[in-house]
Amino acid sequence: MLLVADIGNTETVLGARHSGGEILRRWRIRSDPRRTPDEIGVLIRELIDVLPGGASSVDGLCAASVVPPFTDVLAEAAERHLGIVLREFRWSRELGIRLEVDEPERVGADRVANALGAHLAYPGPAIVVDFGTAMTFDVVADDGAFLGGAIAPGVEASAASLFSRTALLPRVAFGFPDTMIGRTTVENLQIGLYHGAALMVDGLVERIRAEWDPGARVVATGGLAARFAGRCASVDVVDPDLTLKGIGWGHDRLHPATA
């Protein structure tokens, strides 16, 4: 069994991948490079012990990362505690997709994985909206080419920034008030943060479609995708495992001898 990891700025999503490509289990841990390899290794062993065969069933690890220091910690943890080598997911011609952008070397590995995942799971023109620490909009052509997109602050990052800079505003729970005219401070904040984020998604998707392909399918992924999808009229499909699927398929193409 292959472990796949999407190492983001705030969290790392780990998945146990079946040989057929399905993600059997998914876990979230903090992307904290201050933790030791032994701490991370023990934690991962505890998590994967629920799998049939436990740690002995895992024969590889492939990770897409935007946090190199934590990648190093995870690599050492995997080698010490699981006896496996971490292989990094990066763009390569062997993936079978192109990066049609002006700065291909600066495209994050997670966005490459989203493009590959969307191309293989949902053939045709697609816009992947990833609800992470940063909210990304990845535009994927019908042949799998990554054409670019947009990056906006993630909802949780926006909320944290707002609360840290305003002494009198309270922290609020995730929620969508029924009204768009808040009568309490909490409602005001929830409308601005959560309804505002949903409207931003719909607005950006509408303009991307108008500029590129009106029929492009919108695939939502990331930790908050399921909670936002029902509030975004533009979302066609919710696939919380899309990035992990892309990493797994990428591993198959980059390392066919071990797939």
What are the sequence ranges of the domains in the chain?
2-88, 93-246
Is residue 110 annotated as a catalytic residue, yes or no?
A: yes
Q: Give the number of other Cβ atoms within 10 Å of residue 70's Cβ.
A: 24
Question: Rounded CA gap, 172 and 174, in Å?
Answer: 7
Q: Give the orientation angle of helix 68-81 with respect to helix 37-48, to 10 degrees.
A: 60
User: Positive or negative, the Cα torsion across 224, 95, 31, 79?
Assistant: positive
Q: Where are the alpha helices (DSSP H) in the chain?
A: 37-48, 68-81, 109-121, 155-165, 185-190, 196-211, 225-229, 242-254
CATH topology of domain 2-88: Nucleotidyltransferase; domain 5 (3.30.420)
Q: Could you tell me which CATH number the domain at 93-246 has?
A: 3.30.420.40
For residue 250, what are its two tokens? 């990428």
For residue 39, what are its two tokens? 């701490």
Residues in the chain: 259
What global pTM score does this model have? 0.91
| Residue 3 half-sphere exposure toward CB, CA atoms < 13 A | 33
Tell me the one-letter amino acid at 65: S
What is the pLDDT tens value at each position of the chain, 259 positions in all? Answer: 899 999 998 899 999 998 778 899 999 999 999 999 999 999 999 999 988 888 888 989 999 999 999 999 999 999 999 999 999 999 999 999 999 999 999 999 999 999 999 999 999 999 999 998 889 999 999 999 999 999 998 888 787 777 777 765 777 888 899 999 999 988 999 998 889 999 999 999 999 999 999 999 999 999 899 999 899 999 999 999 999 999 999 999 998 877 5
Same fold, 2-88 and 93-246: yes
| From 6, 110, 138, 241, the catalytic residue | 110
pLDDT for residue 168: 59
